[in-house]
Copies of this chain bind each other. A is one copy, B any other.
């Protein structure tokens, strides 16, 4: 498994209208360029329909936004880990706030990610669930209070304790799990604050996807890491 280099900026483009097909390829290219200029590690999680296209246009790691806890077979319309991998994804988000899974299925998705060689980030909503997720032994836990997702205030400003306490709780259970910080992350200041609080990167979405000048925002985020 090619574990993401940290500190890292992971962009989740969700199903935003600004991030379909050619548009998400453009965003990925900007990330690739800024990543090269600044030597900051970057990855992009895209819709299943776009994994193949983005993968063939950029060198940064392309991730899936979701996998289902299934093996090859009769599962019409669900997201098969093998298919995501075949299309070119090297990792996957699991249990995003907008796509919650049962505890048993988070565990099953992790097993499937291991079996298919997909890096993985389990998304969580608070300190307790971050600790629980760490017990399942993922590579990353991304803590994102749902009420801050998509908003204008970064979790690092609104609730810094949730980040540092999640880092502490996660490390208590499993030293090898890295913590990302999400929800409301918008600029370089948010990123550097996130690292200060003990996280090893950020997971963000609207801050980049909805920005008028995406290059400027991505560059600013990267500068927060350097």
A76 within 8 Å of B (CB atoms) = yes
- Among residues 37 to 67 in chain A, which have CB atoms less than 8 Å away from a CB atom of chain B? 45, 47-53, 64-66
* CB<8 Å pairs between A and B, sample of 21: A12-B76, A14-B75, A15-B72, A15-B73, A15-B76, A15-B83, A16-B72, A20-B86, A45-B76, A47-B83, A49-B84, A74-B98, A74-B149, A77-B93, A78-B98, A78-B99, A100-B105, A101-B102, A128-B136, A134-B135, A135-B169
Number of interface residues of A (CB under 8 A): 65
Q: Which residues of B contact A206 (CB under 8 A)?
A: 74
**8 more CB-based (< 8 A) A-B contacts, given A20-B82, A50-B83:** A47-B83, A49-B87, A65-B76, A66-B77, A104-B124, A104-B129, A107-B132, A132-B133
B residues near A83, Cβ cutoff 8 Å: 15, 20-21, 47, 49-50
Which chain B residues lie closer than 8 Å to A74 at the CB level? Answer: 14-16, 98, 149-150, 205-206
Binary contact track A124-147/B, C-beta < 8 Å → 1, others 0 = 111011011111110000000000
Q: Are A87 and B15 in contact (CB under 8 A)?
A: no
> Is the CB of A106 closer than 8 A to any CB of chain B?
yes
Please indicate which of the listed interface residues A49, A93, A107, A126 has the most CB atoms of chain B within 10 Å of its own CB. Answer: A49
A21 to B177, CA, bound (A): 32
Bound CA–CA A72/B150 (angstroms): 14
- Cβ of A95 within 8 Å of any chain B Cβ, yes or no, is yes
Assess whether B17 is in contact with A82, with CB atoms less than 8 Å apart. Answer: yes
Residues of chain A touching chain B, judged by Cβ–Cβ distance below 8 Å, are 12, 14-17, 20-21, 45, 47-53, 64-66, 70, 72-80, 82-84, 86-87, 93, 95-107, 124-126, 128-129, 131-137, 149-150, 169, 173, 205-206
